[in-house]
Structure 1
Amino acid sequence: MRALLFYSKKEFKRMILAIDVYYLDDKAKTVGILFEQFTDSIKEIKSVITDYQSNVAPYQSGQFYQRELPCILALLSQVDLNTIDAIIVDGYVHLNDGKLGLGGHLYQALDKKIPIIGVAKKSFADNSQYVIEVTRGQSNKPLYVTSLGTALTKAAQDIKSMAGKHRMPDLLTYLDQQTKLFKFE
């Protein structure tokens, strides 16, 4: 399914794109949601984009980006990147010792033109200088936010401001649910 956005010059809007990938064996479903502001609700999603890939590389410890990055790039081929202000990925931009995570490799693949924000649910050892822990709602468990192309403090503030009463912002929960529908397709 291709989602093309058409706007007159008067109504042209910059978008934020959140992306997630779900795997079944060697197949992947990648979903992206486009929205205008970090504070948008699920009802304000402008478009949902989906891509399917076969023969996806197997998971390799410490090299996760090699599996996920091709799936994300395939989805991005459906988007006018000139309309994107930021991309949110499920995972890290930086790992430890400055090593790039999935988001960092995506930032490089996009020629450092679009800010990338990584949102992870689990901590990664020895990368505290690259992470801001964001607690939301009533949860005592933080989200781990990393970024490239935008200040880390701004990225953390943007994630904290996202709609929803729980640890995970509503838009990112919705995105995760959309990818997992792959099990039933």
Structure 2
Amino acid sequence: MLACIDTWYSAEVSRTALVLFANWPDATATREIVEEASHQPSEYIPGEFFRRELPCILSAAHPFLDTLDTLVIDGYVWLDSSGRKGLGAMLHEAVDKSINVIGVAKTRFSGSAGVEVLRGASRKPLIVTAVGMDDSHAAQLVQSMHGEHRIPTLLKRADFLSRQPVKAPAENGDKP
């Protein structure tokens, strides 16, 4: 199984969306999970993005780790060509290297490594880094993902879901 994951946070709450899918070109998810937590996220420190997002990602992905092959994150696996660890590398280590992690970044981090991928009509490349597979293979997989635009459909879906307030069970038709 494959998944895209993204986390949104404010000063008091974080929301993580996990979008599961079966095949790289899939246009729709097989399952979507949104997890919300009340806490104060770690302070933003350039190059240490993992401090804010890693706990949220681990919590949301944990029930699926036995079935996940690859997790696609919004961010970097490696911050530079010397192997400085980004969110993706920290995630890979936190799950005992049991899954591949592909990082898809929208902007180039100063001195960062990665393969540039142009999608759709965009002239702004995505920067792809990976652990568990080489960057060029990861870039081909990202290129093959569904979507006519720069950001693959299911990665964009994870971003969208992470920004939406979680509805209480009574609000969305579920029984309490």
Q: TM-score, normalised by structure 1?
A: 0.85
Aligned pair count?
166
- Cα distance in structure 2, aligned partners of 1:26 and 1:57: 11
Alignment RMSD: 1.6
Which one has the bigger helix percentage? 1
Aligned equivalent of 2:60: 75
Cα gap change, 1:23/1:183 in structure 2, threshold over 3 Å: closer, same or farther? farther
Candidates 123, 130, 136, aligned match of 1:140: 123
In the alignment, is the contact (CA less than 8 A) between 2:47 and 2:79 conserved in 1? no
Deviation of 1:78 (Å):
2.8
1:95 and 2:79 matched: yes
Would you identify which runs of 4 or more consecutive aligned residues in structure 1 move more than 4 Å? none
Paired residue type of 2:12:
D
Structure 2 counterpart SS, 1:145: strand
Equivalence map 1:11-50=2 (5 Å): 15-42=1-28, 45-50=29-34
Q: Relative to 1, partners in 2 of residues 1:183 and 1:82: Cα closer, same or farther, differing over 3 Å?
A: closer
Contact 1:22–1:182 (Cα < 8 Å) also in 2: no
> What's the offset of the Cα at 1:163?
0.8
Q: Structure 2: how far apart are the matches of 1:126 and 1:59?
A: 19
Q: Which residue of 2 aligns with 1:113?
A: 98
Aligned to 1:179: 162
| Partner AA of 1:37 in structure 2 | N
User: Once the 2 structures are TM-superposed, how far is the Cα of residue 24 of structure 1 from its aligned partner?
Assistant: 1.7
* In 1: Cα distance, 2:100 partner to 2:91 partner: 10
Counterpart of 1:85 in structure 2 is 69
Q: Cα distance 1:142–1:183, how it changes in 2: closer, same or farther (>3 A)?
A: farther
CA 1:61–1:125 in structure 2 vs 1: closer, same or farther (change >3 Å)?
closer
In the alignment, is residue 169 of structure 1 matched against residue 157 of structure 2? Answer: no
Unaligned runs of 5+ in 2: 169-176
- CA displacement at 1:173 relative to structure 2: 1.3
Measure, in 2, the Cα distance between the counterparts of 1:184 and 1:35: 23
Q: Which amino acid is the alignment partner of residue 88 of structure 1?
A: V
Q: What TM-score do the two structures reach when normalised by structure 2?
A: 0.89
Q: What does residue 59 of structure 1 align with? A: 44
SS at 1:92's partner residue?
coil
- SS of match in other structure, 2:69: strand
The percentage of counterpart residues that share the same residue type is 40
Partner of residue 4, structure 1: none
> Structure 2 vs 1, CA of residues 151 and 61 (structure 1 numbering), >3 Å: closer, same or farther?
closer
> Does the 8 Å contact 2:19/2:157 carry over to 1?
no
Q: Shift of residue 184 of structure 1?
A: 9.2
Equivalent-residue separation in structure 1 for 2:22 and 2:37 (angstroms): 27
